[in-house]
A = this chain, B = another copy of it.
Amino acid sequence: MRHAFDPAAFRWEGLAPRAYKDEPGTAHGMAWRGIARTTLRRGVFEVRYFELAPGGFSSLEKHAHEHVVFAVRGAGRALVGSEVVELHPLDLVETGPFVPHRWTNPGDEPFGFLCTVTGERDRPQPLSDDEWDALRADPRTAPFVTSISAREPR
Contact = CB atoms under 8 A, between A and B. Distances in A.
Copies in the complex: 2
A47 to B, nearest CB: 6
Interface string A1-30: 111110100001000000000000000000
A92 B5 contact: yes
A129 to B, nearest CB: 26
Nearest to A78: B2
Interface residues on A, range: 20 to 34
Contacts of A70: 114
Interface in A19-54: 40-41, 43-45, 47
A41 B2 contact: no
Contact of A88 (B5, B44, B47, B68): B5
Interface of A: 1-5, 7, 12, 40-41, 43-45, 47, 66, 68, 70, 72, 80, 83, 85, 88-94, 96, 114, 116, 118
29 contacts: A1-B93, A1-B94, A1-B96, A2-B80, A2-B83, A2-B92, A2-B94, A3-B91, A3-B92, A4-B88, A5-B88, A5-B90, A5-B91, A12-B90, A12-B92, A40-B92, A41-B68, A41-B92, A41-B94, A44-B45, A44-B66, A45-B45, A45-B116, A45-B118, A47-B68, A47-B92, A47-B116, A70-B114, A72-B90
